[in-house]
Structure 1
Amino acid sequence: MAVVYRAFYALNRNPRINSKGINTSATLGFTTTMFDLIRQQHPTHMGVAFDVSQPTFRHEMYESYKANREAMPEAIQYSLPYIRRIIDAFRIPILTAPGYEADDVIGTVAHAARREGFDRVLMVTPDKDFAQLVTDGIYIYHLGRGGQGDSVMGVAEVQEKFGVERCAQVADLLGLWGDSSDNIPGIPGVGEKTAKKLIARFGSVENMVAHTADIKNDTLRRKVEQHADQALFSKKLATIVLDAPVAFDERQMAIKAPDYAALKELFDELEFRNLAKRIFTAFSLDGIASAPKAATAPSKAVNQTPLDTQPTLFDAPRQDAETIRVSSVVSSLSDLLPDGAVSDVSIYMEGASLAVATDAEHVLLTTVGEVDMAHLRRLLEAPDTVKVCYDLKHLRYNLSELGITPAGTLFDVQLAHYLADAEARHALPSIALSLLDAEPHTVAECAAALWLLYPRLSSGLCDAGLVSLYNNIELPLVDVLIAMEQEGVRIDIDALNTFSQQLSQQRDTLQQEIYRLAGKSFNISSPKQLGEVLYTGLHIVDKPPLTASKQYSTAEEVLHKLRNTHPIVDKVLEYRSVSKLLGTYVNTFPQLISPVSGRLHTEYNQTVTATGRLSSSNPNLQNIPIRTEQGREIRRAFVARDADHLVLAADYSQIELRIIAALSADPGLVDAFNHHLDIHAATAARIYHLPVEEVTATQRRNAKSVNFGIVYGISAFGLSEQLDIPRKEAAALIDEYFAHYPAVRNYIDANIAFAREHGYAQTLLGRRRYLPDINSRNASARAFAERNAVNMPVQGTSADMIKCAMIAIQRQIVGRGLRSRMTLQVHDELVFDLYKPEEALMRQIVETEMVQALTLPNLAVEVSLNVGRNWLEAH
């Protein structure tokens, strides 16, 4: 609605009135804006969010919410039906959620799209509230006014404009200074400037309320104490929710050809002659009169493979996409399968909608509330039939709420497609478009598409030798991940609050020291202001580094290289590190604890990484920093369930180096591991030609960088940057390494040669990563593919190993009826809630299953196990 209002008032001084006397300003302005967005930004997906004409949950919380809003101008009211018809004619979905505002719809859909892998999501709005939603990959697209061009606000721009470290803190600011347009009270007498200072110090409204004694200004402290509840309430009102009951439907929101006939009819009625000419000309029509009677699907060039690249597993010739055809859709399960019969089926659920197909043309389409539940349960729990689905983990969650546990042969199209081509898009419409030359557009068509994809994907996995990976690793892992996600982990909020106070004090001290060194106060989190201080004010280098947009660069890697130029650089890096710990972890985790379980629940993603590794999101618990003492301190807050439990952490010992030693069969590396030597000291001794006992700490550190860098195809330049040594010295270290470990060099060359011949790299168990640039004429692209040809077999084999271990351990826990639980997986490490009486047994189970999970040639696997009251102590 904000865009509609903007369009209306932009033309208010010179309103557009047609021959019927109708004010068409809002309709014309909105349509022009939407068309220009499509033409200039070239979105692949688009939706328009509207408010619903009923009270929202905020009105229920606060009777006076938006009470001071003026009534909608009559001209806008009259325009809304036309605007909706135009949106429909553009074939763009209108998104709403009863009881929620359009802001909540946009926030929910934007973040859902980002989770689905869309790397640039634009929220088109003039409202400042949306700044709280900006994150990596999600931006505000701000429409220009008064001749100014449009602009895009990302994280840096939000930090600059609002003076915050995290964009989510904009909701905290609004909770303090209020929002008169929505009648959100905030704290009386606290304006924008004071609110920014309070949030900069305390991080959140909640933390400020908990530590009002730390506010030195007596008047301000009294205001905060007097209106603390109002501040918390105001923040709640100002917070845009991300779980509104609306789904991101990739298929529905995909840009399609407009309904030209409908547009022509509307433009004739509204007398939009010039706009009609612009739009039809842009769509390459010969004028309004030539608009086709029915819309045609846009032509798409899909799967165009460069001449010098290798094909992937599925590389079929492509034509323009068609729609999945379903000839018979029934609403009763008995019409699909009479007499309570069971059969091989495909099943697709979306919200409350449910579709079941017995072949590609006959589909049941119904809702969860209307289906014959007894027949559905019998159908899905039948032990001798095939169930084809998409995203089995999500489906299991949905079916479990209905008391159904699917049995028989389960085929997850998403998982199978991930195994077939890990770096492709795994959304169902993308898979169907790739393999069937057709797209599903309805829930029923999705079920039919799954049925059609099953034979293609299953035979493809068989031809590629990937069936065992699917049946023995990826499929059984689904239930393990569900159990871990549901279990969650206990967080010691008091420990995090104490740590937050320590970090906040440290940050304040660093801030004052930076101001002293700079000779002025400024927003340290603003790249623009920081760049001006470093390069214009302090002149720390003669030629300041610039970004691609010719702005001063203050990126992390840039500042690391400038650490010796001025003391302020180290302080800025330390300030950033502390701020990140506060914003990303310490002050955020308490807000994410489930009010139902009282625990923190992450989500494990099985079809995201190119190497087979799991990833974690909402929140990401695999990215907690461990290289610094303060980063490791966060793990102290991950505690055992209760007094009867401890935390058990089990970590593979130097697994990637062991894998490269085993796969290369290099006698020097294998011998060092088999004799339990310090591998980095042993490597240093060889490349520096010293006895092990004479190796210095610096030499061991350098050798460690070489050991791990080899796995990732490090160059002399990369090693010199990492160790801050001359490139010639770095090159000599790499040469010495290969001179003493020649089998590793041979292994690297053999992997690259294999990838050149076959077009992919593979793990010990046959997991593939396709490398389309391995034979590219572009040297940079080819070098990147060569590094992946070396790294993927190592990192992917490690991923396969820990997945096998997780499955085996979970079977033991369930089979023996143990009370201990697996709670976290962090790359090469597993974390458990250990029931104290089971410690000896769990140690035995975990170590045995991890060691035996995947046998390496020539080399044994070692596991380190430790127990403590929290995750840090268990290391």
Structure 2
Amino acid sequence: MSKKLVLIDGNSIIYRAFFALPLLNNDKGVYTNAVYGFTTMLLRILEEEKPTHLLVAFDAGKTTFRHSTYKEYKGGRQKTPSELSEQFPVMKELLDAFDIKHYQLDQYEADDIIGTLSKQGNHEDFQVTIISGDKDMLQLVSDYVTVHVTKKGISDIEKYTPDYMVEKMEITPEQIIDLKALMGDSSDNIPGVPGVGLKTATKLIKQYNTLQEVYEHLEEVNGKKLKENLTNHKKDAFMSKELVTINRDSPIEISIDDITYDGFEQPKLSTAFKDLGFLSLLNRISDGVEVEEERTEMSEISFTIVEEVTDSMFTGNESLVVEMIGENYHLSDIDGFGVVNEEGAYFISTEIALQSDAFKTWAEDITKPKNVFDAKKTMVALLRNNIHIQGIAFDMFLASYLLNPAENNHDIPAIGNRMGKKDVLFDEEVYGKGAKMKVPELAELAEHVVRKTTTLFVLKDEMEDLLNKNEQYELLKELEMPLALILGEMEHLGVRVDISKLEEMGVGLKGRLSTLEEEIYELAGETFNINSPKQLGPILFEKLALPAIKKTKTGYSTAANVLEQLQSEHEIIPKLLLYRQLGKLQSTYIEGLLKVVRKDTNKIHTRFNQALTQTGRLSSTDPNLQNIPIRIEEGRKIREAFVPAEDDWIIFAADYSQIELRVLAHIANDEQLVAAFKNDLDIHTKTAMDVFHVDKDQVTSNMRRQAKAVNFGIVYGISDYGLSQSLDITRKEAKNFIERYFASYPGVKQYMEDIVQEAKHKGFVTTIMNRRRYLPEITSRNFNVRSFAERTAMNTPIQGSAADIIKKAMIDLHWKLKDEKLQARVLLQVHDELILEAPKEELDILKKIVPEMMENTIELNVPLKVDYEYGTSWFDAK
């Protein structure tokens, strides 16, 4: 077997990957775009090159031995964005998971490590491949060394051999050093000779072979200015040659024998990919082996399968589980009931329970406390069967969520496992999953449901004790549980949809799409599949000769972020972008909404996720009504189809104005920010005045736009790089902007510093209502992980407190409507707004009590402000 040495320039590749891919982060918020790009390249290298020896070399720091020659070496480079620098430790950890060696050496660069090892490879008859984005590496090309240089991004590679260099560049590898000495390199701040570019340098080297000979024949050089520059900058030229020359005898402490590569361990790498969220890459490393998990032995359990429900079964402090198989409980039938109390454990079949007056009487008796798993789901399931459950005293699902908001599984078996009660199987083990999911025989079903109910019964007191210890019991009892019952009623009620209006919009969108299609074909000069990147790419980048920004393994990238950069290049691009937006509206929102409308009621019954986000914010699914696009008119108009359930009723929408900024003002207690809200100033205009040091009438729309971006971004720990991207300004301008913001609002800066220190001390942060978010990563030695935790510490008290306030407002408003004996009811919660429906005659009282309840639900040191609109549809109420 031939010996194959692959050497990768780590800094160069990860840098290129970062700028080639949009910013990505995994579910922990860790930036991963550069690591992802690097990893996809690495997998391809392993597949294609099959190395026997492999090393990724990194630069050790900013200072190298070259700085003693020229202290301005690499001077003027912009600071590496924190979003990139945070990814270096992650990349190195992933290389460890690959079992790939990585190395760096103080005072030396990755180039020098690679140059030294490639020289060793020559002496030991290795076939050497070098991967880099830096053409300085071309000086290492030889009969045994091939250099792969990334072109645009990281997927397009150019392979350089000696013959290819002569053919493409008209010079040999040895002459690269002399060429660069004459040209200089602005990216590394290497001076070279002024006025000498690639064309002139190539001509001189072709004619005289070396830099030395150029100067030996200086009198023969044509061009007075060129000769003058060469003469005046001879010292710079020879210094530049020294700077660009890779040191192939660096004092590295590793040898080729230390970097053998025997492949990766699939389970270890799979775990790393899952942690990073690289699920799409798992199939590229899978060996097809499934690991069968060991099942625990279940202890005996005693219970009764009830044939008739009697009053004597209920002692007044029951644990109840309503078993429903399937993710969407709005579409699932009840599969049975588990009831456990001090007297015994019971399984009641659906048919027996729902036909029993004793069961209904008990369920609706508010004086009989009931401890349940998922109060909202329980309420919806029973309301569908004409039972309005009362007296819910504990919700295990919500308690687990408050205690462990970072956990993504709050099912009873998962909670039991975390709390040492492992005597219940996971649902998948009992029911199967996917197409194989089915209800087992009665005895097995009954035992599983009773085991789950018993786990709830046994753990209830322990979970309440933990909540009390955390000072979160009130949060559960006074906020989350009352809200769960309100959300249950909202889900059951649903929102009416004008089907004919949706269908009419669909016809209109199809017409728009057809017209756009013809316009695109005309601009392209031919018909093709617009939705096919393989067909669209050649049209744009070959036929229309637009600049190809990014290439993938399968051809040209036509992703939205690529097309957005080309909008000014050709009129076909805006039409393509609009075509895609309208296409998504048609498929996802018009056709998607029509699929989930209940035909008997013409209503949509979305599900509100109360225990999903770590900040406490609600989200909705099946369908997601919080995500209807409103940036384009066609998207906004979809809201026209959401109408009141009754004739002569209206939709009333009340929206908190800048609630997160008001919460920030309260928590940070910044004097300027508090005063601005108390004086009801436009906060973005005020920020622009403070940051730009101008009077109100001098604030331009662009100044206000920039101030708005900082206001909303600053508390999330936005960096100068992030702000520069969102505002399309330089990083230096963005940095100055952030510094001026903090100078204007020192209380905000102090808050951000204090909350990070508090999180490091306590291990968590809290909202106004004591919701916790644990941040164990805040003391991590991994810079990337730690930085995300710090940003989260700054953001969570604000975003979470805003979520708490909206939830409390929903509860207060719900009971106020009942106290006033109004027919008005809350339909939806979408971000910072509440959507109601009500009879027209109740409009005047709604105008008074809705803002009043929302603005006074909690007392802050700045006023809360609510704006409202109303109309015959959700669209009209905006």
TM (norm. structure 2) is 0.60
- Alignment counterpart, residue 746 of structure 1, candidates 734, 750, 761: 750
Aligned to 1:699: 703
Match of 2:519 among 513, 524, 540: 513
Structure 1 stretch displaced more, 735-744 or 322-331 = 322-331
Partner SS, residue 713 of structure 1:
coil
Distance 1:616 1:506, change over 3 A: same
Q: Work out which of the residue numbers 674, 682, 697 in structure 2 matches 1:678.
A: 682
Partners of 1:563 and 1:761 in 2: CA distance:
43
Q: Partner of 1:444 in structure 2?
A: 450
Q: Does 1:482 align with 2:482?
A: no
Q: Deviations over 1:412-441 (max 9, x none)?
A: 111111111122111222212111251513
In structure 2, the CA distance between the partners of 1:609 and 1:551, relative to structure 1 (3 Å rule), is: farther
Q: Are positions 1:764 and 2:782 aligned together? A: no
Summarize deviations over 1:301-351 as a string: whole Å, max 9, x none. Answer: xxxxxxxxxxxxxxxxxxxx846645312123889x994551422222223
Bigger shift: residues 426-435 or 701-710:
426-435
Q: Does 1:822 align with 2:826?
A: yes
Q: Residue 833 of structure 2 aligns to which amino acid in structure 1?
A: E
Please say if 1:530 is aligned against 2:508. Answer: no
For residues 556 and 769 of structure 2, the distance between their equivalents in structure 1, rounded to whole angstroms, comes to 47
8 Å CA contact retained: 1:653, 1:864: yes
Q: Cα offset for 1:711?
A: 2.8
Aligned counterpart for 1:366 among listed residues 335, 348, 352: 348
Alpha-carbon distance, 1:656 to partner: 0.9
Native 8 Å contact 2:305 2:347 kept in 1: yes
- 1:867 counterpart (853, 867, 870): 870
Q: Distance in 2 between matches of 1:432 and 1:539?
A: 61
Aligned partner of residue 352 in structure 2, secondary structure: coil
Corresponding position of 1:660: 664
- For 1:676 and 1:509, the matched residues in 2 are separated by 47
**Cα–Cα, structure 1 residues 407 and 638, in superposed 2: closer, same or farther, change >3 Å?**
closer
CA distance in 2, matches of 1:465, 1:534: 60
Q: CA deviation at 1:649?
A: 0.9
Q: Does 1:331 align with 2:313?
A: no
What is aligned with 1:804?
A: 808
Post-superposition CA distance 1:351-391 (Å, at most 9, x none) = 332221225x9421231223593443455455555422211
Letter in 1 for 2:863: A
1:129-144 mapped onto 2 (5 Å cutoff)? none
Distance 1:600 1:384, change over 3 A: closer
Aligned to 1:395: 378
Are 2:599 and 1:595 aligned? yes
CA distance in 2, matches of 1:545, 1:759: 44
Deviation at 1:723, TM superposition (A): 1.5
Aligned equivalents of 1:529, 1:455: Cα separation in 2: 63
- 1:788 is matched with which residue: 792, 799, 803? 792
Taking a change above 3 Å as real, the CA distance of residues 589 and 322 of structure 1, as seen in their structure-2 partners, is: same
Task: Please state whether the residue corresponding to 1:729 is helix, strand or coil.
Answer: helix
Larger radius of gyration: 2
Cα offset, 1:654, TM superposition:
0.9
- Residues 535, 544 of structure 1: 8 Å contact kept: no
Q: 2:637 pairs with 606, 630, 633, which one?
A: 633
Residues 1:432 and 2:422 are matched in the alignment: no
Going from structure 1 to structure 2, the CA distance change for 1:511 and 1:404 (only over 3 Å counts) comes to closer
Distance 1:768 1:341 in 2: 36
1:474 is paired with a residue whose SS is helix
* Pair 502,353 (structure 1): closer, same or farther in 2 beyond 3 Å: closer
TM-superposition CA deviations, 1:82-141 (whole Å, max 9, x none): xxxxxxxxxxxxxxxxxxxxxxxxxxxxxxxxxxxxxxxxxxxxxxxxxxxxxxxxxxxx
2:600 maps to amino acid: V
Aligned partner letter, 2:406: E
Aligned to 2:462: 456
Contact 2:305 2:346 in 1 (8 A): yes
1:563-601 deviation line (CA, Å, top 9, x unaligned): 344443332222111111222223332343222212222
Deviation sequence 1:430-458 (CA, Å, 0-9, x none): 21211125151311211111112212211
Change (3 A) 1:632 1:282: closer
Paired AA for residue 484 in structure 1: M
Query: Kindly tell me: are residues 702 and 338 of structure 1, through their superposed partners in 2, closer, same or farther at Cα, counting changes over 3 Å?
Result: closer
Within 1, Cα distance between the matches of 2:811 and 2:661?
24
What letter matches 2:399 in structure 1? A
| Equivalences for residues 612-623 of structure 1 within 5 A | 612-623=616-627
Aligned equivalent of 1:27: none
The match for 1:231 is none
Deviation of residue 795 (structure 1)? Answer: 1.2
Q: CA deviation at 1:504?
A: 2.5
Q: Choose the corresponding residue for 2:506, options 497, 500, 509.
A: 500
Deviation (angstroms), 1:840: 1.6
CA separation of 1:488/1:385 partners in 2, compared to 1, >3 Å: closer, same or farther?
closer
Q: How does 1:303-314 map to 2 (within 5 A)?
A: none
Structure 2's unaligned 5+ residue stretches are: 1-287, 324-333, 426-447
Q: Label 1:377 to 1:781 Cα distance change in 2 as closer, same or farther (>3 A).
A: same
Instruction: Judge conservation of contact 2:380–2:489 (CA < 8 Å) in 1.
Output: no
Secondary structure, counterpart of 1:743 in structure 2: helix
Question: Using the alignment, how far apart are the partners of 2:587 and 2:388 within structure 1?
Answer: 40
CA positional deviation for 1:399: 3.1
C-alpha separation between the residues in 2 aligned to 1:506 and 1:852? 46
Offset from partner CA, 1:792-841 (integer Å, 9 cap, x none) = 11111111111111111111222332122211210110111121111121
| Residues 851 and 862, structure 1, Cα contact 8 Å, conserved in 2 | yes
